[in-house]
A and B are shown apart, each in its own frame.
Chain A
Amino acid sequence: MYAIDLHNIRKVYKGGVEALKGISLQVQEGDFYALLGPNGAGKSTTIGIISSLVNKSAGQVSVFGYDLDTQLELAKSQIGLVPQEFNFNQFEAPLQILVNQAGYYGVKRKEAFIRAEKYLKQLDLWDKRAEPSRELSGGMKRRLMIARALMHEPRLLILDEPTAGVDIEMRRSMWKFLQKLNAQGVTIILTTHYLEEAEMLCRNIGIIDKGNLVENTSMKKLLARLDSEIFILDIDPPAQLPSSDRFKITQLDERTLEVEVNKRQSLNTVFAELSAQAIRVNSLRNKANRLEELFIELVEKGNIHDK
């Protein structure tokens, strides 16, 4: 079953700006799906339409088979939304926010308190449950919105840049939390600017650019399209400049080399060649995130194909 089935969605804002130009997209139940795209590409509009915060101009949306036009309330009850901007009452305490939110979904107050305690503890917010939420840190506010979205135990969780402005330690603990949720069967759709995040978490990926869906494929297939990868090698200072007929080698400074290796070549060959030239490699790392390279290739260089 599709968790989300978008068919030919269009959105024209007042003033004539066409934010979405007929997007069709399906996300399988249980998937961890990344929706990427540059700023203003239409990601948040797409999420807004799915969660019924934005009125679509045309097209059909169904959530777990419930049509947004004819079965709105059933469709809404399947979704938990974590928006990009903080959108809770800054004067209310986290516990109050969560319990009320559960109430809007018909969860009885007694059960709502039990769930609120569970999620506040899981997301490390229990100690802050009675403080005005405006006093929480940025990371805590993001986690509060995740807890709020889970209060009615949705089958689909949509996160619009959930880790924006969150430090790396906190980001990693949020990733772990989301992976656990996904393993429990919750379908997750994520938009993010941290492509490392998408590569690490998501199985499938869609890329939106200028209101069009320019990619919709599995992460593996997309990454397999990379022809080459660039590695940075830390070396002992060589006696002479290393060279190779098979690899493109650039010496960045006395102790650093940049080596481009294509898909058909192996790193063993690189090491063998450098060893033959008496160059000792101390460590190695990727120059950039692989998905980032593809993303830039697809979007910025205009090497895209409309579907």
Chain B
Amino acid sequence: MINSAYLIALKSIWIKEISRFLRIWIQTLVPPVITMSLYFVIFGNLIGSRIGEMSGFSYMSFIVPGLIMMSVITNSYSNVASSFFSAKFQRNVEELLVAPVPNYIIIWGYVGGGVVRGLMVGFMVTCVSLFFVDLQIFNLFVLVLSVICTAILFSIGGLLNAIFARTFDDISIIPTFVLTPLTYLGGVFYSISLLPDFWQGVSHFNPVFYMINAFRYGFLGIADVSLVWSFTVIGLFIVLLYGLVLLLLRKGVGIRT
């Protein structure tokens, strides 16, 4: 099979994945926009107006990048986790397994679907945020790069979760007990410079912190750690998780008997 055939296969998985979440848009696109609108109203407008400035910006301006990133993380992760697990559950993953599609194409196919959903939700949340704040963009390149890398990383994370999952409960455990705490403690609502030294140190072990940091820099031009370090950490996590998922698919873990 030549490379152009792989590209057709990749495109087919993308089309299938994107049509899937668009078909159920009421479950996949609307809820995050509503949730984030509530965050904007409650934390940004009502409570934020009493908090005052953070790192030299209004509290609303400060949390908007974090909230957009939070929706990107959650949606790219859950898109791949639920889609791949459903494919395992209904056994239609076998359509791909019997076809001459290399494992890396399967990974990038599903990751592509997760990235598109993450970015689409992120864009919609950004549009809603315009009702609450005058968004400025400090560095478009950093902003786009950080959001794409984050969507890729969490899409791969969702795939990893789905590979191991045996029940529908298994694909909600990680988002509830790992993803949500990491996101909330990654500096969405506060600058880590507000934390005591010890907890600032602990925050540096949280990968989400680097993503929000880079993304916020793209919008506001402020960062708690250097951009180079942020992208290095994100890149390392992508390589690590991608390698792990590739190895698991090659061994057939969770998909072949």
| Closest-CB distance, A202 to chain B (whole angstroms) | 23
Q: Mark B85-100, 1 if CB is under 8 A from A, else 0.
A: 0110011101111111
| Closest-CB distance, A94 to chain B (whole angstroms) | 13
Q: Mark A250-292, 1 if CB is under 8 A from B, else 0.
A: 0000000000000000000000000000000000000000000
Q: Enumerate A176-196 residues with CB–CB distance to B below 8 Å.
A: none
Does B50 lie at the interface of the complex (its beta carbon under 8 Å from any beta carbon of A)? no
CB distance A53 to B256 under 8 Å?
Answer: yes
Bound complex: CA A81 to CA B87 (Å)? 17
Bound complex: CA A74 to CA B5 (Å)? 12
Q: Which residue of A lies closest to B97 (CB)?
A: A53
Does A100 lie at the interface of the complex (its beta carbon under 8 Å from any beta carbon of B)? yes
Does A73 lie at the interface of the complex (its beta carbon under 8 Å from any beta carbon of B)? yes
Q: B96 is contacted by which of A55, A73, A104, A107 (Cβ under 8 Å)?
A: A104
| Closest-CB distance, A237 to chain B (whole angstroms) | 57
Bound complex: CA A92 to CA B155 (Å)? 23
CB distance A52 to B97 under 8 Å?
Answer: yes
CB distance B91 to A85 under 8 Å?
Answer: yes
Of listed A72, A76, A85, residue having the most chain B CB within 10 A: A76
Q: Enumerate B1-44 residues with CB–CB distance to A below 8 Å.
A: 1-2, 4-6, 8-9, 11-13, 15-16, 19-20, 23
Of listed B1, B13, B90, B99, residue having the most chain A CB within 10 A: B99
Of listed B2, B20, B95, B96, residue having the most chain A CB within 10 A: B95
Of listed B12, B23, B87, B96, residue having the most chain A CB within 10 A: B12
Q: Mark A88-108, 1 if CB is under 8 A from B, else 0.
A: 111110001101111111111
Given A83-B94, A104-B95, A74-B9 contact (CB < 8 Å): no
Given A89-B90, A100-B16, A106-B98 contact (CB < 8 Å): no
CB distance B98 to A90 under 8 Å?
Answer: no
Does A54 lie at the interface of the complex (its beta carbon under 8 Å from any beta carbon of B)? yes
CB distance A52 to B1 under 8 Å?
Answer: no
CB distance A108 to B8 under 8 Å?
Answer: yes
Does B207 lie at the interface of the complex (its beta carbon under 8 Å from any beta carbon of A)? no
CB distance B9 to A106 under 8 Å?
Answer: yes
Bound complex: CA A53 to CA B95 (Å)? 10
**Chain A interface, DSSP helix/strand/loop, else mixed:** loop
**Chain B interface, DSSP helix/strand/loop, else mixed:** helix
Does A163 lie at the interface of the complex (its beta carbon under 8 Å from any beta carbon of B)? no
Does B52 lie at the interface of the complex (its beta carbon under 8 Å from any beta carbon of A)? no
Given A55-B257, A87-B92, A91-B23, A103-B11 contact (CB < 8 Å): yes
Q: A100 is contacted by which of B15, B97, B98, B256 (Cβ under 8 Å)?
A: B15
Residues of A within 8 A of B23 (CB): 91
Given A87-B92, A96-B19, A101-B99 contact (CB < 8 Å): yes
Residues of A within 8 A of B95 (CB): 87-88, 97, 100-101, 104, 148
Bound complex: CA A201 to CA B54 (Å)? 78
Q: Which residue of A lies closest to B23 (CB)?
A: A91
Residues of B within 8 A of A108 (CB): 8
CB distance A48 to B100 under 8 Å?
Answer: no
CB distance B256 to A106 under 8 Å?
Answer: no
Does A77 lie at the interface of the complex (its beta carbon under 8 Å from any beta carbon of B)? yes
| Closest-CB distance, A95 to chain B (whole angstroms) | 12
Q: Which residue of B lies closest to A103 (CB)?
A: B12
Does A51 lie at the interface of the complex (its beta carbon under 8 Å from any beta carbon of B)? yes
CB distance B90 to A55 under 8 Å?
Answer: no
CB distance B5 to A105 under 8 Å?
Answer: yes
CB distance A73 to B102 under 8 Å?
Answer: yes
Q: Mark B128-142, 1 if CB is under 8 A from A, else 0.
A: 000000000000000
Q: Which residue of A lies closest to B102 (CB)?
A: A73
Residues of A within 8 A of B2 (CB): 106
CB distance A105 to B9 under 8 Å?
Answer: yes
| Closest-CB distance, A45 to chain B (whole angstroms) | 8
Does B148 lie at the interface of the complex (its beta carbon under 8 Å from any beta carbon of A)? no
Q: Mark A142-160, 1 if CB is under 8 A from B, else 0.
A: 0000001000100000000
Residues of B within 8 A of A89 (CB): 86-87, 90, 92
By a beta-carbon cutoff of 8 Å, the part of chain B in contact with chain A is: 1-2, 4-6, 8-9, 11-13, 15-16, 19-20, 23, 86-87, 90-92, 94-102, 252, 256-257
6 residue pairs, one from A and one from B, having the closest CB atoms:
A106-B5, A103-B12, A73-B100, A104-B99, A87-B91, A76-B100
Contact sample, A vs B, 22 pairs, CB 8 Å cutoff: A13-B257, A53-B256, A54-B256, A55-B256, A73-B1, A76-B98, A77-B1, A83-B94, A87-B90, A87-B94, A89-B86, A89-B87, A90-B90, A99-B12, A100-B12, A100-B15, A102-B12, A103-B12, A104-B9, A106-B6, A109-B12, A152-B99
